[in-house]
Structure 1
Amino acid sequence: MRVPGRGRAREDPGMTDTAAHDERMAGDDRRGGIRARRLAAHRGARRVFARFGFHRTLRERLALLDGAADVYDLDELSDVYGDGVVEALETKVAGLLGTEAAAFFPTGTMAQQVALRCWAGRTGDRTVALHALSHPEVHERNALSEVGGLRTVRVTSEPRLPTAAEVRDFEEPFGALMLELPLRDAGYVLPSWEELTEVVEAARERDAVVHFDGARLWESTTALGHSLDEIAGLADSVYVSFYKSLEAFGGAAVAGPAELVEEAKAWRHRYGGQVFQQFPTALSALVGLERELPRLPEYVAHARVVAAALREGFAAAGVPWARVHPEVPHTHDFQVWLPYEADVLAEAAVRAAEETGDVLFGYAWESSGPGLACTDVHVRSAGLEWTAEDVRTAVADFVARLPGEVSG
């Protein structure tokens, strides 16, 4: 049986191109189209914790650009192969992260492959040390080795970030240490600021460069207690995503020293990422930085309210064992674990959403062993409408739809 925080394949907005996702969707179909029902209930619901872009129609998504004139001069010429608005976005990101430069990429998978490949050329060591639950290890079809020619070694598989001792005492040499902040598959967890600085120093002692997988770095400032530029300043390079929290159409960036970024742009071309025009995505990213980035601390704070209410609700409903992980969320995303089969929880969640209009659990439940399942909870602007009492009431309704006896 896996314990809370252990890795698993999960339905996650934007992470839908893996074999695990294909298998999971086929499983949903075999269970009577539960995913289709879940998405329909989510779209028609009066109250949800988050409404992501993939929940919206094309017309609704295009409306994101209605305010684009507030973030960029729309009378400027359109971009061609990465100039214009794309360069403006790159400059904006470098300024926010306090780096010399940044390079826009169409995907985060490409961005990180390129960054780590560039560092391998500089260090002369193609070995990348990372966590066993890190995104390249779990969700990218071994791209670092199959495409980039890199070799990965796993510093730890524990449901937390690596410790300084684990990095310092690791038995094999490596040229780069990649740290995912937060570590998504362990429960969107972060280290403390002190732990993070110690891990970085341990890597420096081994003459290794440090790269941050910061796909969700934007929302990490609250838990780490430091600004974006202070966090990014610990690393030699940083990758950030524009759609996971900023709600852009897509895209990513690698930020770091100007010389590294220039080489990254050359590899971007070789990898097929030098797209002719990218102004819709670049504009949507600028809109996200303007509108969503300032609100992320508010979402994190409310996620902690929701998490506490979930714990209280399950305790009041008499569920013999329930886990919110982390107990106090580090970001606006966290996990919920319950002692039931995934199919039972999925059906109860969908029926509750269909019949009440309140979506307590809007994402797939994944089995983590006999009689144990887990789901993710994402809190964004829509989630601010929920009070703690609303959450507790929804939990009571949800539990009432579960069988009287649980596994165990």
Structure 2
Amino acid sequence: MPENTRDRRLAALRACDRILSGVRPATMRERLADLEAAGDLDALPDFYGDGPVTTLEERVAEILGTEAAVFFPTGTMAQQVALRYGADRTGNPTVALHPLGHQELHERHAYSWLSGLRAVWPTAEPRNPTAEEITALAEPASTVVIELPLRDAGFVLPTWDELAALAAAARGAGARVHFDGARIWESAPYLGHSFEEIAGLADSTYVSFYKTLGGLSGAALAGTGELASYARAWRHRFGGQVFQQWPAALTAISGLDRELPRIPEYVRHARTVAAALAALPGARVFPEPPHVHRFRLWLPHPARALNDAALVLAEEEKVWFASGWQDTEIPGVAMAEITAAAPALDWTAADVTEIGGRLIERAAGY
């Protein structure tokens, strides 16, 4: 078959009538239409962070119940500022991170290269640390980072009681608590508490606007007024004081209006999807049931066979199942991340089982 390229996959996904995992990618023209609906385009744009950016910051602070929130062009920048703040305030350059956390796997260790910080790992288990593990740290940390959910462990969350105990243990050890909340929006249903209550356990919380909410880009760092003042200064020093960011701000506000109220429905339906997938021959789902609307699926076929089968299924039947299959340490078994968003709501458990079976049949032929 022709090469399975990114452009070919995107074209196939856009042409599909039904999508199980993920969403249909929008063109630039479609995103421009989104901007028309997102705000008053006859109003003045922002100039170095006022206007719609200020509106967005105030909205996030209100949702999280914090004194302030500061817009950042990237989450990587926001998180480095949060860790610097803790180190500067305490004089301690040590931060407690998880080896599967975003700072370690996806930010090129920016906390170390840019700020001279060093990490200790409370645990290497594929879950967030426990209160006992924080208390038992071999050396004090200025900040304890908790990723909600821990994506590279399978989008897993602690329980509310575990999270509250973990935050209390960190403070008892003299550390700040920072929530890597890029996906905090889908964490609230499992934790069973409001965004304000969740953020209230932390000294600072980072949120993303393009993950889950569908914004163009951008993030925010929320916390006290003192943190916000510090964050604005360091945002400028890191090069994040961009002249105009109104497209990102408007689409973020639109995402808060449009997507945020629907996320509990996505999380509920993800459990239906996961249970149906787990019934496929040789399949494994984790966690079961999912904690958020994303989870991991393993099937007993090589990644190349599953990726090619998924692509042909999309091109020939206009049905998108899941892509991004990766081989695992178990020969002949591949894993993919499943995201049950708005397009998946139309899928019944029977639909998932039927199409999954057709995917497996095709994969067996490669």
CA distance in 2, matches of 1:197, 1:227: 14
Q: Which residue of 2 aligns with 1:342?
A: 303
- What is the Cα deviation at residue 52 of structure 1? 4.2
RMSD over aligned CA atoms reads 1.6
Q: Which moved more, 1:367-376 or 1:226-235?
A: 367-376
1:218 aligns with 2:185: yes
Task: Give the stretch that moved more between structures: 159-168 or 256-265.
Answer: 159-168
Instruction: Specify the alignment match of 2:334 in structure 1.
Output: 373
Provide the residue aligned with 2:357 in structure 1. Answer: 396
Contact 2:22 2:339 (C-alpha < 8 Å) held by counterparts: no
1:146-190: CA deviations, max 9, x gaps? 112211122222111111111111212211100000001111111
Deviation at 1:74, TM superposition (A): 4.5
* 2:342 aligned partner, one-letter code: S
1:63 and 2:23 equivalent? no
Distance 2:229 2:303 in 1: 47
2:101 to 108, 123, 134: 134
Q: Deviations over 1:194-227 (max 9, x none)?
A: 1111111111111111000000001111000000
What is the DSSP-based 3-state SS (H/G/I as helix, E as strand, rest coil) of the residue aligned with 2:301?
coil
Matched, 1:150 2:121: no
Tell me whether 1:38 sits opposite 2:5 in the alignment.
no
Q: Give the TM-score, by structure 1 length.
A: 0.86
**Counterpart position of 2:51:** 84
Instruction: Judge conservation of contact 2:126–2:153 (CA < 8 Å) in 1.
Output: yes
In structure 1, give the amino acid aligned to 2:251.
S
Q: Residues of 2 paired with 1:57 and 1:403: CA distance?
A: 34
Deviations 1:297-351 (A, max 9, x none): 1111111111111112x0xxxx2x3211111111111110122221122122222
Matched with 1:384 is: 345
Q: 1:354 to 1:249 in 2, by over 3 A?
A: same
* Equivalent-residue separation in structure 1 for 2:148 and 2:63 (angstroms): 17
Q: Separation in 1 of the partners of 2:22 and 2:301?
A: 27
Sort the Cα spacing of 1:404 and 1:32 in 2 relative to 1 into closer, same or farther, 3 A. Answer: closer
Between the aligned partners of 1:260 and 1:47, the Cα distance in structure 2 is 45
Give, as a single letter, the amino acid of the residue that structure 2 aligns with 1:393. Answer: E
- Deviation string 1:261-305 (CA, Å, 9 cap, x unpaired) is 111100000000000011111111111111111111111111111
User: Normalising by the residue count of structure 2, what TM-score does the alignment of the two structures yield?
Assistant: 0.96
Gaps of 5+ in 1: 1-30
Question: How many Å apart are 1:354 and its aligned residue?
Answer: 2.0
Identity of aligned residues (%): 55
Whole-Å Cα distance in 2 between the matches of residues 386 and 148 of structure 1? 47
Separation in structure 1 between the aligned mates of residue 300 and residue 170 of structure 2, nearest angstrom:
39
- Mapping for residues 109-258 of structure 1, pairs under 5 Å: 109-258=76-225
Q: Which residue of 1 aligns with 2:255?
A: 288
SS in 2 for 1:147: helix
Shift of 1:51: 5.2
How many pairs are equivalent?
Answer: 364
Residue 61 to residue 76, structure 1, CA distance change in 2 (3 Å):
closer
